[in-house]
Amino acid sequence: MAKSSSGRIIDQQKIIFALAVVLCLVFAFTLPGFATASNALSLLQAVATIGVLGIGMAIVIIGRGIDLSQIAVLVMPPAWMMYQIQAGVPMAEAAAYAGLAAIALGVLNGWLVAYVEVPAIFATLATGTLMYGTMQYLAVSNDVIPLPKRLEGFIALVQGGTFGIPNIVLFLLLVALVCWLFLRFTVWGRYVYAIGDNPMAARATGVPSRPILVLQYVISALAAFAAGVVLSASVESVNTRLFNSTMIYDVILVVVLGGVGLGGGKGSVSNVLVGTILIGIMTNGMTILNLSIEVQSLIKAGILLAAIIADSMLNPRDELTSQQGDI
Amino acid sequence: MIHSLFRAALAAGAMAGVLAAAPAMAQQSGYTDGMREQYRDALQGKKVGIVPIAMSFDIAQAYVAGLQAQADKIGYELVVRDPNWSVEQGVQAVQQLIAEKVDVIVAHPLDAQAMNRLVKKAQDEGIYWLWANIKGGPSGDVFVGADHYQVGRTKVEIAAQYCADREVKKIAMVAGPSNNQAILASAAGIKDGLLDHPELQLVAEQSAEADANKAKSISDTVLKQHPDLCAIIGQWDGEDIGIPPAVADAGLKGKVAVITSGGGSHETACAKVEDGSYHAYISHDIGAQVVALNTAIVQLLQTRPPAGEKPFAAYVNMRVITPDTVAQTHCWSVAEVGQRVY
């Protein structure tokens, strides 16, 4: 948290925030219907899932890792949960089993990275496919699963609102608050920064690096699972084909865009929120402008590239602690 | 001791065989209608290969269940190769089937263009090529499927009817992935349909890239912009399932017609029209497609024309499922197709 803005007057978060404000003003004056409360809420609603995934991802990236298995956890355990509920398993029990599957994958990721010392990018790439394949083989035979009728109450809750704010946006804010408190005020949260900043020094000073690494991946998996369950209620179905999509890049986009350095040790939940909101504003504005998907991808890619360049200029590699081969 | 027991058993078995066969032989009438033997001999022991998009969704499962049911009944082999959403794996699977010299290949491709080259290769080997619902460049021997172009036109007609009484006739389109030939054909149909209905104003056309959540947020945004919208045309039910929640969110359920299309299984089609999610669902009727595919296999293997000589198409009838027709419409399930209810 303190790291990202330490001593700098202009950091990436501020640039992105300013960009978001400028875009917002431009759209507000040029696009009729953009600057309304209801459009603002629908904009946030659209990016809530990406935001929750991004927060989970940010914790891993701050600890100098990456979690490419998130999309597998986003779709497969919730899909299995829906199958169980369809088959008559009590809802809480089904959610618990599916949640345990997600946690198990988080533990496996953490174990591979922390104890077997496999680079995170390869470990999580493999475990994501493992999760997808195993679940597809054992439990999830269809890839679009309509939600069981029994979940009507839950669907209504997710699609509903509280004091005019969509509950799905409140869900994003809740996850953000919990993770912010964790990173900012708990010892384990501070350890995540220590490990990300300088893993050797952290270990030498007695930080329990390995268990903390495992914890990071478990948090990321849990965030993905929660996002998956909420997403499925929001669109009333689980679509496991998302595993084959480029969604993970969108997640990395909001994290990096907000200014969480890929080198680790830098950034916070607020960075992710700023990145998420910018992407939300852009997507919303481009939809209102009715731009084609190709142009939209081009603009998003350009912005990601600019963010990565800004990241490497504003957060130059520390020769003492960076290693070649880090992501 | 054991030896003599074994002998006794053999003898008893032979006796029983003779006794059982005698009355059966007496009952044989020697009936033939002139076709049954030809039908059986042409098909028995043959090998049909199918390469679906992936075995993890209802359409492919229904194809396989229906094709398997006929193969079991007649006594030929059905080989299923599942590329699991991979274009490359699909191409490899077909190449493998050609190398194994199967008699018929049924292709239900993710990207039909990737298969184009293989059609001729298969036909050069004397293998018949059947396209299921999605057709590439070469016509192969048979195309069985929906007339996707007409499906597109019909969607516009339905929207035009629904919007007829409205003062403002605004519609939006949520497009699907553009590498799918069925979706390209229906997009062309929609475009031509809109030329016939200049009163319809297409205010947004956005691609959801097969993602229901994207379909939802696109619809959310468009409905905020145009609360007087009267219809949203989707292209594929798998992603369009995200549109009705957006309509409900905007408090416009019953005021905005959601029009989509797809395989037409009970869960994805009839149930969703019944609960008011869709105003119209155009079913590609996979049950009827399975019947046509099975008939094509039977016909080709009996008549044995040179592969590729006279390609033909069997477009199945479109089933337009609306709240008015859903009670009389039968949506299929994989189990029903497998039990040859169709």
Q: How do the pLDDT tens digits run along chain B, 342 residues long? A: 556 555 655 555 555 555 555 555 577 888 888 888 889 999 999 999 999 999 988 999 999 999 999 999 999 999 999 998 889 999 999 999 999 999 999 999 998 899 999 999 999 999 999 999 999 989 999 999 999 999 999 999 999 999 999 999 999 999 987 778 899 999 999 999 999 999 999 999 998 888 888 899 899 889 988 999 999 999 988 889 999 999 998 889 889 999 999 999 988 899 999 989 999 999 999 999 999 999 999 999 999 999 999 999 999 998 999 999 988 888 999 988 888 755
What are the phi and psi torsion angles at B62 (to 5°)?
-70, -40
Structure tokens at B254: 């019953």
Query: Structure pTM?
Result: 0.80
- Predicted confidence (pLDDT) per residue in A46-78, tens digit: 899 999 999 999 999 999 899 999 999 999 999
- CB proximity A235 to B under 8 Å: yes
Task: Looking at the complex, report in whole angstroms how far the Cα of residue B173 sits from the nearest Cα belonging to chain A.
Answer: 11
Instruction: Mark yes or no for CB contact A235/B245 under 8 Å.
Output: yes
In a domain, A324, yes or no: no
- CB proximity A298 to B under 8 Å: no
- CB proximity B234 to A under 8 Å: no
Superfamily of domain B36-145+286-316: Response regulator (3.40.50.2300)
Instruction: Please say if the pLDDT value at position A9 is more than 70.
Output: no
Q: How far is CA A12 from CA A269, A307, A315, in A?
A: 14, 8, 9
ipTM of this complex: 0.75
d(CA B220, CA B245): 9
Determine contact, residues B35/B303, Cβ cutoff 8 Å: no
The CATH number linked to A307 is 1.10.3470
Task: Looking at the complex, report in whole angstroms how far the Cα of residue A265 sits from the nearest Cα belonging to chain B.
Answer: 32
Provide, as residue numbers in chain B, all residues whose Cβ is less than 8 Å from the Cβ of A38: 224
Closest by Cα among A49, A70, A224, A82 to A132: A70
Instruction: Mark yes or no for CB contact B242/A143 under 8 Å.
Output: no
Q: How far is CA B318 from CA B288, B306, B329, in A?
A: 10, 31, 12
Q: Which residue has the tokens 């995170």?
A: A120
In a domain, A321, yes or no: no
Domain with CATH 3.40.50.2300 in chain B: 36-145+286-316, 148-283
- Closest CB to B212: pick one of A142, A239, A283: A239
Per DSSP, what are the bridge partners of residue B49? B79, B105
In a domain, A327, yes or no: no
Give the residue from chain A lying closest to B269, CA to CA: A146
Q: Do the bridges between strand B104-107 and strand B312-315 make them parallel or antiparallel, or are there none, so unpaired?
A: unpaired
Task: Looking at the complex, report in whole angstroms how far the Cα of residue B272 sits from the nearest Cα belonging to chain A.
Answer: 10
Give the residue numbers spanning the domain of A10. Answer: 2-27+34-316
What part of B 262-301 touches A (C-beta under 8 Å)? 267-268, 271
In a domain, A326, yes or no: no
- CB proximity B245 to A under 8 Å: yes
d(CA A170, CA A195): 31
Task: Looking at the complex, report in whole angstroms how far the Cα of residue A39 sits from the nearest Cα belonging to chain B.
Answer: 6
Q: Do the bridges between strand B170-175 and strand B142-145 make them parallel or antiparallel, or are there none, so unpaired?
A: unpaired
Neighbours of B269 (CB within 10 A): 27
Determine contact, residues B334/B65, Cβ cutoff 8 Å: yes
CATH class of B148-283: alpha beta
Q: Which of B88, B223, B224, B277 to mutate to test the interface with A (most CBs of A within 10 A)?
A: B224
In a domain, A288, yes or no: yes
Determine contact, residues A161/A167, Cβ cutoff 8 Å: yes
d(CA B123, CA B319): 33
In a domain, A110, yes or no: yes
In the chain, the amino acid numbered A156 is A
Q: Which of A50, A235, A292, A296 to mutate to test the interface with B (most CBs of B within 10 A)?
A: A235
Instruction: Mark yes or no for CB contact B56/A236 under 8 Å.
Output: no
d(CA B87, CA B110): 6
- Domain count of chain A? 1
- Closest CB to A33: pick one of B218, B224, B248: B224
What does the pLDDT read at residue B15? Answer: 53
In a domain, A322, yes or no: no
